[in-house]
Structure 1
Amino acid sequence: MKLFSALLVLVTACVLGRTNGANILGVFPINGRSHWVVYESLMKALAARGHNVTVITSFPQKSPVANFTDIDLSGVMPSPVSSLSIDMVRNVLSSVFSSQAFIADLQLKFCRESIKHPQVQALLKSDIKFDAVFTEIFGSDCDVGYAYHFKAPLLSVMSSSHLPWSYDRVAGPDNPSYIPTIVTRVAGKMDFKQRMINTFYYVYFKIAWKYYSEWPADEFLKENFGPNTPYINDILYNTSMVFVNGHFSLDGPRPLVPNMVEIGGVHLKPPGPIPKDILKFIEDSPNGVMLFTFGALIRASTIPKPVLQIFLDVFAKLPIRVLWKFEEDIPNKSDNLYISKWMPQRDILNHPKVRIFMSHGGQLGVHEAIHSGVPVIGIPFFFDQPRNILKLVSQGAGILLDYDLLSREYLSDAINTIITNSSYQTNAKKLSQRFKDRQLNATETAVYWTEYVIRHKGARHLRTAAVGMPWWKYYLVDVISFITIVIFAVLYVIYFILKTVYKKCTKKNVPKKKVKKN
């Protein structure tokens, strides 16, 4: 193993020294497929531009890619595809509070396991120079030590839309009065109650991030990159660029600093051919089809039998056909239902006969549906999923269903509403046009700004003066306090002067009493 690690580092060093592109390191040990497809798209796009890309990943390439080197962690952290049961999702992850601790511990585990890998250790001990280091913004920032170790500009990317803890490193505005957090169940303007809830989440995430993520990650950095490693925030405040897998056409407009850039849809590739049996099922449908999936993590076959029967009964009576990503065979299913363990989701959604996409509301699937102009019926479970669907609902391109309220009538009404009401299709097409109308597409945008950071050696000029500023300065607590003291001092002086003048005036007007002589 040591010999193999040494050979890998030698090959990497030879590749990095042979070409004229920049040397880029991507640290993405997470084993979630939905996360990786975002990061893979960006890393492969940079490699295609001629840059030398090395990636620490749980998803190595199946065939060699030019300028692209894997450090394979798949044996250490296998992918959890279709591993979560419905009960696990609903009882553990559906809580905002428990999910925050869960994702923080999960990413810290990835950091601990990946840094022990022989190939990673060999890389850290080598004299390779990197021009940029990419890390993920998710549950913990324990990977940023690689940027410090290699003395390279830090670029971070998230597979979701704007996470509450992503703003501080670039001092981006995140005022809770009008910017919803990723878990706030609202889209657009908020009323008083919604602003109260949003502010509560805002404050909670600020505190929870320190407790669950910042402090443990700082300990990890000092344990693995040396006791003299700066405090984690000192590294984070040097972040050169943050890429967000979102777009204002869906997420709504919000103020962004120059080094926070939206690249929503970066994972989207040109649709490919659909397998023949699925294609025949779609094209033989006289009224179109609906694609139904709960994503890569949730195992649909764990749906309780009573709820499963609701789906089957409703699907059997629909005027359209249904493609369902389901891991097991279903006996006596209706003829209009097609079951498969795997579905080429992106390719299917692009087919003109697809009329509805029913989903759990994952970010990538929502982007794929938007890009293809397909209305969405969402049955969300946790974290950003409810808001992902609500953003579509607010634009007339989707319907949200509550899993706990599922019934035959509830489900049937939602599906038939989209089938019979053409406005959903029309609004989905309009949203698709806005989503795709950009000066540069998502991939080109990400590549441009990466190269910009490299050209300008970290592009420190993009950082605002607010980066690293204490909260009491950022919110002008000192200035407001000073002004308040001055105002009270001035008012007191005025009061004292008026009081003194009044006393003197009233004293002159009082007649003196005559003193009687004895």
Structure 2
Amino acid sequence: MQVVTLCVLAAALAGQATGGLLPPERPYKILMLLPVGSKSHRNVFLPLAEALTDRGHKIVMLTNLPPASKNPNIMEINHDLPYMGNATQNMFDKGKKSGRCLGDFKYMLPFIAKELYKVPAVKKLYDKRKEFDLIVVNHMLNEVSAGPGGKMYIPKQPGRGGNKPPPPTQPHPPSFCPQIAYPFVHEVPFITVATPGMDHCQSAVYGNVLNPSYAPNFMVTFPLPMSLWHRLKNTFMHLYIPFFWRTWAVVPAVQKEISAQFPHLPPLLELERNQSLTLMNTHFSIATPVPLLPSQVEVGAMHCRPAKPLPKDLESWLDGAGSAGVIYFSLGSIARGETMPPEYRQAFLEAFRRLPQRVLWKYEGELEGVSDNVRISSWLPQQDVLAHDSVKVFISHGGLLSLQESIFHATPLLVLPIFADQPKNAMFVENSGLGRMLVWEELTADSIVDALTDIITQPKYKENVAKMSASLRDQLTTPQERAVFWTEYVIRHRGAPQLRCPGAQISWVEFLMLDVMGLLLAALLLLVFILRRLVKTVSTLLFGNTAKTKKE
């Protein structure tokens, strides 16, 4: 018996030494909530879900997208609300209006909150929520502007012209409103997955208020060290975004709709404080390093993987490029090539015609005027393409997952951001020397050729991205292992309250020590008052008669 015990102990220690995970105590049931999200959000959740099923766990995932996983232990439930689907959108039109006011969301998100819990499948899940060992919530609800045909669906509001949608607004606002899903987490352990990485608003909820003098906000980044003007702008963004969303416009309206359906539920922002952990889609090697709490776990590039074999015809075409190499061009899963304005499309066609490289272009739809060195495909295995030795540069929209894949596979970038955090990612690429950034409004065939030629011929870009790739890959455990360990940790420890920072439970007045400073200021004023009275009294006792005699 002792021999068996020693063998088990030795196996456990060996597993820990190699970074492996010990077997779970039992299979868990885990509910993942992505009621409003893009394919890219689901692409962050699926690696976690699949890694958990490899451990024997069962996953149920509520989404607004058709099922994508063939894993028998992952059940995807689409709530089928049409105005929350991932419909085709013209991202170029939306990108031009990215500066519009976000006020439309204070009408739309409450409407979603009102309708979501009327869906039978959602209501059934809600009734069975306590049967799950853990709930995982998507902390960002972007893409909520997508309605039928790519239009934003806005419910009828007084003075807003009925149900007619206004002009499309920014599709990726800082719409961190997971509060829509928070009725599910009442009295149930839950964690969040931060698909965009570090979000200063969410970090503050955990009690980790980031310093705006160096920590960027979600939407914009500035060169470090920041100038006085940049620090002022960054501070304003740090204050304005949570005020607009959480205090003024959106969350109060969502709270009203949720309270109407769940009158006995605690306030949503109070439920939010009960989250045990967040898995952040970032890593210090590919972002600005900031201080983290134990409850903030970096799992950036969790979806990245080693290359798989390419289809033989595609691999043969890439190999045939010779020393000139290949340029890979993709604008992600949402910005469809056929929606690209004609002047931009012609600029690319002309530029590619003048280049010696072959060009692999992910493009949906028919395309005329393509030169012989260009190959068009509506879908491509992106990571496998990026890992191929012939690929010299990746022309990208600057989406976070594409950026991580390019770094992971050490491929320099030419970024043309369209909306949301993409300009921020593009600035990171340029400031870090990973590639170049171009602006759509100034795009010409000459600028494309010049940028691509610079990236391909100057070795510094490849060297910089290779160094960052090596740093990203150099980890004690894989992001998937960390995500799985901490997910199971929260379940094993029944919500793991030991992870929670006391700063999350106090008001901003207490956190900033305003009451203490006020008390110290009052004490200082009282001390000054007492000293003045004391000096006056002593002066009167010592010099009072002399002063009176001189006066007489």
TM-score (ref. length: structure 1) = 0.88
Cα distance, 1:241 vs. partner? 0.8
Paired with 1:235 and 1:462, the residues of 2 have a C-alpha distance of 16
RMSD: 2.5
Paired with 2:480 and 2:538, the residues of 1 have a C-alpha distance of 74
1:280-312 deviation line (CA, Å, top 9, x unaligned): 331111211111111111122222222222222
Q: What does 1:123-272 align with in structure 2 at a 5 Å threshold?
A: 123-126=125-128, 129-138=131-140, 139=175, 140-141=177-178, 142-148=180-186, 151-210=187-246, 211-224=248-261, 226-272=262-308
Task: Pick from 119, 143, 149 the counterpart of residue 117 of structure 1.
Answer: 119
8 Å Cα contact 2:408/2:469 also seen in 1 = yes
C-alpha change, 1:324 and 1:494, in structure 2 (3 Å) is same
Give structure 1 stretches of 5+ with no counterpart.
1-18
8 Å Cα contact 2:360/2:374 also seen in 1 = yes
Paired with 2:209 and 2:63, the residues of 1 have a C-alpha distance of 32
8 Å Cα contact 2:60/2:76 also seen in 1 = yes
Q: What does 1:35-50 align with in structure 2 at a 5 Å threshold?
A: 35-50=41-56
Paired with 1:305 and 1:194, the residues of 2 have a C-alpha distance of 36
Report how many residues are paired: 490
Paired with 2:313 and 2:280, the residues of 1 have a C-alpha distance of 37
C-alpha change, 1:392 and 1:133, in structure 2 (3 Å) is same
Paired with 1:415 and 1:433, the residues of 2 have a C-alpha distance of 24
Cα distance, 1:490 vs. partner? 1.8
Paired with 2:42 and 2:388, the residues of 1 have a C-alpha distance of 25
Paired with 1:407 and 1:154, the residues of 2 have a C-alpha distance of 49
C-alpha change, 1:62 and 1:405, in structure 2 (3 Å) is closer
Please state if 1:34 is matched with 2:40. yes
Cα distance, 1:63 vs. partner? 6.5
Task: Pick from 337, 349, 352 the counterpart of residue 389 of structure 2.
Answer: 352
- Write the letter of the residue equivalent to 2:336: R
C-alpha change, 1:330 and 1:444, in structure 2 (3 Å) is same
C-alpha change, 1:106 and 1:256, in structure 2 (3 Å) is farther
Cα distance, 1:498 vs. partner? 3.1
8 Å Cα contact 2:197/2:281 also seen in 1 = yes
8 Å Cα contact 1:82/1:296 also seen in 2 = no
Please state if 1:365 is matched with 2:402. yes
Please state if 1:445 is matched with 2:482. yes
8 Å Cα contact 1:307/1:406 also seen in 2 = yes
Instruction: Find the counterpart in structure 2 of residue 8 from structure 1.
Output: none
Instruction: Find the counterpart in structure 1 of residue 13 from structure 2.
Output: none
Q: What does 1:289-368 align with in structure 2 at a 5 Å threshold?
A: 289-368=326-405
Give structure 2 stretches of 5+ with no counterpart.
1-24, 141-174
TM-score (ref. length: structure 2) = 0.83
1:3-40 deviation line (CA, Å, top 9, x unaligned): xxxxxxxxxxxxxxxx9311211111225111111112
SS at match of 1:466: helix
Instruction: Find the counterpart in structure 2 of residue 13 from structure 1.
Output: none
Paired with 1:170 and 1:388, the residues of 2 have a C-alpha distance of 25
Please state if 1:497 is matched with 2:539. no
SS at match of 2:495: coil
Q: What does 1:101-116 align with in structure 2 at a 5 Å threshold?
A: 101=103, 111-116=113-118
Task: Pick from 56, 78, 89 the counterpart of residue 62 of structure 2.
Answer: 56
- Write the letter of the residue equivalent to 2:184: Y
8 Å Cα contact 1:185/1:387 also seen in 2 = yes
8 Å Cα contact 2:106/2:253 also seen in 1 = no
8 Å Cα contact 1:182/1:383 also seen in 2 = no
C-alpha change, 1:314 and 1:440, in structure 2 (3 Å) is same
C-alpha change, 1:329 and 1:280, in structure 2 (3 Å) is farther
